Each structure stands twice: as C-alpha cells, then as structure tokens.
C-alpha cells in the first residue's frame, strides 16, 4: 500500500515539492512525465476519477488526497523524518547602533517561492531607515507550512523562537493543498508567548502558469495575453485563494484577533506581467524574463517585486522611493524598473483587504 500512496503524493506535489519528491518518489514514478504518473495513479485508485471520464486530472488527484486521511498521515510522517535548512537568529540583523530604530523581529518560514525575501529584506529595510531584526529563517523546498510544523522539535527553529516569544512577525508560505493546518498551529503557538504576533501568509503565483498536467516550458509564458492572464488569475482566486481567505478568516475568529494577514504577491506578479505585455515594464520585454525555470522560480526583478510586497506588509508602509537594490543594479533602466516594482507591490498589498495594510496609512519610504 505504501508504494501507491507515494506515487500519488509525488503527483500532487510535483509543482515545486523538491524535498518531498526526493523523499518519496518511486522508481516507477520517476520514469515518466506527470501525465504518465496520473495514468498510473488512476489504475491504482480508480475512485479518484470523479467525473468517470477515464482520465485523472490534477484537480481530481488533489481532491482525492484531501479526502484520504491515510495519505495525509503519510505526508505528515514524511515531514517528521525530514529536516529543514535554517539560519541562526540575528545572523542578518542590521546594526541598530548606527542610529536606526529597530523594526519588528521577523522570522521567515518558507519554501523556494519565498525564502529569498529573507536575504533581500535586511538591506531594503535598512535603506528605509529601519534596523532589520532577524529572528531567523527556515526553508523546506516545495513545502506546505504543515511540513515545517512536523519537523522534529529539536530541529524546528521556528517552533523554538516562537516558544521563546522572540518573534513579532512570522511569514509563512503554504503550497497547493489548503487548508494548511501548519498555519493555524504556528499562529496559536506564537500567540501564547507574544499576543502581539503578526502572521503574514504569502499568496504565491501559480507554478507552471497552472499547466500541471501537460507539457510546459518557460518560453510559453510569452504567449500569455492580458485576457488569458486575467482568466488564470480568476481561476487561481476561485480554486486556491478563496480557500486561503477562508482559512485566515476562521483562524482569526478562533484566536480572537486580527493576527493573520495575507501578502498578495500573486496579484503583483500578474500586474507586472500585464505591464510587460503592454510594453510598460522598463528593460523587460518578455514575460519569461521574470522566471529562471519552467516551474516559476523568480529571477531578480520578480524576487524584488515579491520582497517589496513583504516589506509593505511587514512595515505597513510604501516601498516607493527606496533606492535600487543590489539585485537590480545590472538591469537595464534599473531606476525606472525599480520604481514600477515598488508601485505595483504597494498597489497589490493595499488593494487586498486581507493584507491589513491601507494606502493612507503607509507613507513613502523616501
């Protein structure tokens, strides 16, 4: 029974679950593409074919997994055996002794679509006249937040610093399967020691532009039109973001405060891609120039945009006016591009009610 379950887990987490795939992929699953794996899973689990059309879709596979407690139990068990990449608290703190007022203590608990913010935020924060207070970082590639939670306590830096009450802002990045119990668990643990803790949950952009069951290459992103992007964004909201909204609303009600908010980085990414299509993104002519691979890991312009979204959510102020970061120094028209990224990030965050940031509350950073 274990081998078929592993196959289905590989299918569901193929869009970014590097760590999980390395742990549970079977030899048979590795031989073919995703479509072959779906076909194999259908033979093992014919009941997963909800519409009985003889083909197993990614959506059907995900729903089947959610309905099978033994699969979730196996996933949790695999996470417990795995470790996480961490850094020591304070390793990236910028010097408050230089006269800068200290900001909130920030812990970044992430997968690969967010972990880079932990590297970019310190200098960005310092440039805004605030000393960055690094509470630590924890990384598992392709992870749900629950996988971070299930890391053994002796290796779980996120749990340790939350129990110490040494975190003011915790940033999390869930994956495809929602609700993600890890968000609830970390929030409740953190609030026990710091009632003023804020939890910021990243709403990422869709991996592979949502093409999880067929052939897809990064260059295909260049074919997207404004209309097709808006349809993809609407689908993302309907199938994924609505679930995240619902979980956060329920969690805030359960803890009795507005402790948890959403960082809508996906909205900012869609907005930037529309600007590229319309020829309004300085120095960028193709959408594929934002991504380093088919999956959708970001190149510097996109990573900076996402980090500006986090800056706005963490400090509740606009990033507009901050200097060009090192990641963009070699980009053509760097100053103009930087200004656009800042404005798009601010517009996305203030335009999303569940971010907790209002436009009138955030003064420009320079």
Cα–Cα–Cα angle for 61, 67, 70, rounded to 5 degrees:
100
What is the mean pLDDT of the segment spanning 173-201? 97
What is the mean pLDDT of the segment spanning 241-262? 98
**Quick one: pLDDT at residue 245?**
98
**Quick one: pLDDT at residue 86?**
84
- Per-residue pLDDT tens digits for 76-108: 444 444 568 888 788 888 877 678 999 999 999
Share of the chain above pLDDT 70, in %: 81
Where do the structural domains in the chain lie, given as residue ranges? 2-81, 85-361
- Per-residue pLDDT tens digits for 329-353: 999 999 999 999 999 999 999 999 9
Q: Which tops the pLDDT comparison, 70 or 152?
A: 152
Question: For domain 85-361, is the CATH number 3.40.1350?
Answer: no
Q: What is the pTM of this model?
A: 0.80
| Residue 128 near residue 322, CB atoms below 8 Å | yes
- Per-residue pLDDT tens digits for 26-75: 333 333 455 666 776 776 667 778 888 888 877 777 776 666 554 544 44
| Residue that has been written with the tokens 């509350």 in this structure | 361
- Per-residue pLDDT tens digits for 282-334: 999 999 999 999 999 999 999 999 999 999 999 999 999 999 999 999 999 99
Three-state SS across 76-138?
Answer: HHHHHHCCCEEECCCCCCCCHHHCCCEEEEEEEEECCCCCCHHHHHHHHHHHCCCEEEEEEEE
């Amino acid at each position: 029974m274990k081998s078929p379950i592993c196959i289905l887990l590989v299918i569901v987490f193929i869009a970014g679950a590097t760590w999980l795939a390395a742990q549970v992929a079977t030899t048979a699953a590795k031989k073919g593409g995703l479509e072959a794996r779906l076909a194999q899973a259908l033979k093992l689990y014919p009941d997963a074919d909800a519409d009985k059309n003889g083909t197993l879709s990614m959506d059907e596979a995900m729903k089947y997994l959610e309905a099978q407690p033994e699969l979730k139990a196996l996933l949790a068990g695999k996470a417990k055996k795995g470790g996480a990449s961490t850094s020591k608290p304070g390793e990236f703190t910028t010097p408050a002794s230089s006269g800068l007022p200290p900001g909130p203590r920030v812990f970044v608990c992430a997968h690969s679509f967010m972990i880079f913010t932990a590297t970019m935020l310190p200098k960005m924060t310092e440039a805004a006249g605030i000393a960055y207070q690094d509470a630590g970082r924890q990384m598992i590639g392709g992870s749900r937040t629950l996988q971070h939670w299930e890391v053994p306590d002796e290796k779980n830096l996120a749990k340790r610093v939350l129990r110490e009450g040494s975190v003011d802002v915790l940033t999390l990045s869930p994956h495809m399967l929602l609700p993600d119990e890890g968000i609830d668990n970390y929030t409740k643990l953190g609030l026990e020691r710091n009632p003023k803790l804020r939890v910021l949950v990243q709403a990422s952009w869709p991996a592979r532009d949502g093409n999880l069951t067929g052939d897809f290459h990064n260059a295909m992103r260049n074919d997207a039109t404004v209309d097709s992007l808006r349809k993809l964004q609407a689908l993302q909201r309907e199938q994924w973001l609505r679930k995240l909204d619902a979980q956060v609303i329920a969690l805030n009600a359960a803890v009795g405060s507005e402790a948890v908010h959403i960082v809508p980085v996906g909205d900012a990414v869609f907005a930037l891609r529309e600007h590229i299509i319309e020829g309004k993104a300085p120095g960028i002519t193709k959408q594929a120039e934002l991504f380093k691979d088919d999956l959708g890991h970001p190149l510097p312009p996109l990573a900076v945009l996402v980090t500006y979204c986090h800056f706005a959510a963490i400090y509740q102020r606009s990033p507009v006016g901050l200097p060009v970061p090192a990641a963009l120094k070699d980009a053509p028209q760097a100053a103009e591009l930087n200004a656009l990224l800042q404005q798009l990030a601010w517009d996305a965050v203030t335009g999303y009610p569940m971010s907790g940031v209002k436009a009138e509350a955030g003064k420009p950073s320079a």
